[in-house]
């Protein structure tokens, strides 16, 4: 029980800023979707799809390499310094190249009228890549309070900037008699419009970099070229796995632009991205768990009962994902108001995307087997298979059924790589998972969802009461099915503590 409690606690500590941040950013979706038409919002989400790819490229697996080589090398500070200097160098080089060729890059990204966007994005990406290594070190040192504080400030700055530029500035700008107008007139231009979403991100990323700068300076300049040459073969497969994985996550928003007619592509992209935000509730939990679990798994992999503990972790992780997904679906009648009515036509993809994100979370958890065994190339193989599935299905379905095809392609992709990862892991990490109970919980959540779709009542309040009653049924069933195991583990732990 103690390892599970430790991991749960770490998930809360490291994940809480991420969950709160994602949730608060999620609350910005109404601001975007009620302020900008689908076509304008579609352009922003299209650009952020590129950010996702390039973020993987600029960190190139060095976060996980830091965790891995810190447990293998005696001089942990040298590992950190080498990792950090490597990422700083490549990030600065990236900014210079993009700035020099900004007009060409803007044209290739189909936004030739906004070359300044690509420069802003390059700075954001570089700052975030450098910060990622600094945050990884904080996680490794269990400096949860500092990690959470900086992450929280990053989120606060981003949200405040959005509210300031998108909500407050336009109101003041429309009233020249306001005493704040001279100041707003200097820093605000209505022609930038949706570009202020990027500017808000830029401010948050730069300030965050300044906050972690003292930690980075304390590491000193200690670049070990021999160590770096050891780290790169480990990191490169993770880079390719990350890129392929990002194809699975975000390529659909890029392909929507290129595979749909000009008159509908930005609109469909905006609708799909807005509805995708609703399903991101599961992703927030997955990200929080990932923050805590990766360093935890590396630190405890040699424990005698690691396999059994890992099996329990996977089961309870799936239970949590199913509960979050079911709660989202059964409250969709009011959650849909987080996006503007112009976007509601895409709500049918939310159940598909929620299930897809559950599969993605399980895949992320299972992926520890190839990281622990130094077989990171298998991660690249798996995500490449997923990328091929994504590309083939998107290219086939998008011209025919639009963004609905993107959702189904995402689900099929994640389900496939999840199953393949399980079968490939059995030799390197032989674990006896409780498939019987996991299957029951999956089936129960699906049954409860379909029951809710068959309930037709005139009162919205009564509908919510019934739907949340169904969620309660799920929780009660879980409690009684897991109750005996909780008691058994508790007795074994007390016995062990008594022997000590």
- Taking only the tens place, the pLDDT of each residue in 198-230 is 999 999 999 999 999 998 888 778 888 888 988
Task: Report pLDDT for 391.
Answer: 92
From the list 292, 342, 337, the residue with the least C-alpha distance to 317 is 292
Task: Report pLDDT for 496.
Answer: 42
Pairwise CA distance, residues 126 & 98, whole Å: 11
146-201: pLDDT as tens digits: 888 888 889 889 989 999 999 899 999 988 888 888 998 888 988 888 889 999 99
Pairwise CA distance, residues 171 & 190, whole Å: 11
The H-or-E segment that residue 460 falls in is helix 460-499
Q: How many CB atoms lie within 10 A of CB 352?
A: 18
Tokens for 64, please give them. 């996980």
The H-or-E segment that residue 237 falls in is helix 225-259
Q: What is the largest CA-CA distance in the chain?
A: 78
Confidence of residue 394 (pLDDT cuts 50, 70, 90): very high
Confidence of residue 276 (pLDDT cuts 50, 70, 90): confident
Alpha-carbon Rg for the chain, nearest whole angstrom, is: 23
Mean pLDDT over residues 225-246, rounded? 82
Mean pLDDT over residues 424-431, rounded? 84
Give one word for 61, left, alpha or beta, with left for phi > 0 and alpha for psi -120 to 50. Answer: left
Task: Report pLDDT for 108.
Answer: 81
**Contact of 350 with 279, CB cutoff 8 Å:** yes
Task: Report pLDDT for 500.
Answer: 42
**Contact of 358 with 325, CB cutoff 8 Å:** yes
Tokens for 17, please give them. 């800023």
From the list 128, 146, 130, the residue with the least C-alpha distance to 138 is 146
Most confident of 28-37, 376-385, 463-472: 463-472
Task: Report pLDDT for 152.
Answer: 83
pLDDT at position 99 over 90: yes
Sign of CA dihedral 346, 352, 357, 363: negative
Mean pLDDT over residues 422-448, rounded? 90
If 0-12 CB within 10 Å is exposed, 13-18 middle and 19+ buried, where does residue 232 land? Answer: middle
Sign of CA dihedral 216, 218, 223, 227: negative
Q: How many CB atoms lie within 10 A of CB 318?
A: 21
pLDDT at position 413 over 90: yes
Mapped onto helix, strand or coil, the DSSP state of residue 500 is: coil
Mean pLDDT over residues 430-457, rounded? 90
From the list 365, 288, 293, 372, the residue with the least C-alpha distance to 3 is 293
Q: Which tops the pLDDT comparison, 172 or 490?
A: 172
Residues 6+ apart with CB under 8 A from 367: 379, 382, 421
Mean pLDDT over residues 434-452, rounded? 93
Q: Which tops the pLDDT comparison, 257 or 167?
A: 167
Task: Report pLDDT for 497.
Answer: 43
36-47: pLDDT as tens digits: 888 788 878 788
Task: Report pLDDT for 449.
Answer: 93
48-78: pLDDT as tens digits: 877 777 888 898 888 888 888 887 777 788 8
Tokens for 74, please give them. 């005696």
Task: Report pLDDT for 327.
Answer: 93
Q: Which tops the pLDDT comparison, 444 or 285?
A: 444
Tokens for 244, please give them. 């392929």
Tokens for 127, please give them. 């700052």
Pairwise CA distance, residues 178 & 324, whole Å: 46
Pairwise CA distance, residues 169 & 186, whole Å: 11
Pairwise CA distance, residues 282 & 438, whole Å: 17
Most confident of 40-49, 336-345, 461-470: 461-470
Mean pLDDT over residues 428-442, rounded? 89
Q: Write the DSSP assignment of 277-302 as a string of letters.
A: HHHHHHHHHHHHHHHHHHHHHHHHTT
Pairwise CA distance, residues 181 & 175, whole Å: 7
Q: How far lies 65's CA from each of 7, 79, 85, 228, 434, in Å? A: 21, 9, 14, 10, 31
Pairwise CA distance, residues 276 & 270, whole Å: 10
**Lowest-confidence range among 14-18, 27-31, 71-75, 253-257?**
14-18
**Lowest-confidence range among 94-98, 215-219, 313-317?**
215-219
% pLDDT > 90, the chain: 32
Question: How confident is the prediction for the chain on average, in pLDDT?
Answer: 84
Task: Report pLDDT for 28.
Answer: 79
Tokens for 336, please give them. 């849909």
Domain spans of the chain, in order of start: 1-26+252-500, 36-223
Pairwise CA distance, residues 152 & 457, whole Å: 41
- Alpha-carbon dihedral 182, 187, 190, 191, rounded to 10 degrees: 130
């Amino acid at each position: 029980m103690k390892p599970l409690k430790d991991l749960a606690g770490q998930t809360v500590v490291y994940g809480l800023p991420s969950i709160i941040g994602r949730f608060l950013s999620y609350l910005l979706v109404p601001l975007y979707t009620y302020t900008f038409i689908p076509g304008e919002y579609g352009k922003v989400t299209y650009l952020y799809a590129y950010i996702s790819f390039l973020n993987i490229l600029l960190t190139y697996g060095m976060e996980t390499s830091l965790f891995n080589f810190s447990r293998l090398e005696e001089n942990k500070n040298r590992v950190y310094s080498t990792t950090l200097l490597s990422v700083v160098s490549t990030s600065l080089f990236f900014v210079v190249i993009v700035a020099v060729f900004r007009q060409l890059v803007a044209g290739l990204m189909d936004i030739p009228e906004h070359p300044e966007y690509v420069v802003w994005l390059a700075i954001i990406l570089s700052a975030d890549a450098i910060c990622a290594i600094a945050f990884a070190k904080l996680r490794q040192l269990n400096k949860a309070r500092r990690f959470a504080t900086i992450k929280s400030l990053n989120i606060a700055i981003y949200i405040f900037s959005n509210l300031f530029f998108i909500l407050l500035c336009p109101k003041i700008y429309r009233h020249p008699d306001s005493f704040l107008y001279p100041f707003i007139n200097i820093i605000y231009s209505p022609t930038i419009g949706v570009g202020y979403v990027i500017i808000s991100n830029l401010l948050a990323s730069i300030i965050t970099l300044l906050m972690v700068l003292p930690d980075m300076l304390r590491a000193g300049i200690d670049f070990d070229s021999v160590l770096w040459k050891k780290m790169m073969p480990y990191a490169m497969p993770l880079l390719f796995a990350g890129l392929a994985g990002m194809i699975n996550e975000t390529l659909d928003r890029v392909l929507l632009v290129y595979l749909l007619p000009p008159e509908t592509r930005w609109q469909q992209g905006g609708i799909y991205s807005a509805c995708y935000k609703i399903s991101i509730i599961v992703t927030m939990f997955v990200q929080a768990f990932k923050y805590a679990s990766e360093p935890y798994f590396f630190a405890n992999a040699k424990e005698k009962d690691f396999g059994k503990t890992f099996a329990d972790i996977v089961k309870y992780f799936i239970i949590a994902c199913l509960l979050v997904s079911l709660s989202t679906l059964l409250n969709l009648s009011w959650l849909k108001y987080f996006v503007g009515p112009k976007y509601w036509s895409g709500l049918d993809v939310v159940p598909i995307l929620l299930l897809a994100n559950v599969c993605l979370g399980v895949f992320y958890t299972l992926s520890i087997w190839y990281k622990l065994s130094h077989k990171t190339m298998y991660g690249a193989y798996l995500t490449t298979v997923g990328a091929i599935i994504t590309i083939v299905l998107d290219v086939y379905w998008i011209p025919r059924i639009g963004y609905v095809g993107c959702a189904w392609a995402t689900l099929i992709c994640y389900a496939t790589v999840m199953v393949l990862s399980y079968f490939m892991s059995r030799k390197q990490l032989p674990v006896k998972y409780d498939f019987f109970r996991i299957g029951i919980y999956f089936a129960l959540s699906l049954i409860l969802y379909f029951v809710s779709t068959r309930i037709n009542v005139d009162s919205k309040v009564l509908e919510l009461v019934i739907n949340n009653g169904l969620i309660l049924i799920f929780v009660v069933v879980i409690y009684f099915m897991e109750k005996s195991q909780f008691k058994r583990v508790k007795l074994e732990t007390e016995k062990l503590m008594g022997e000590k």
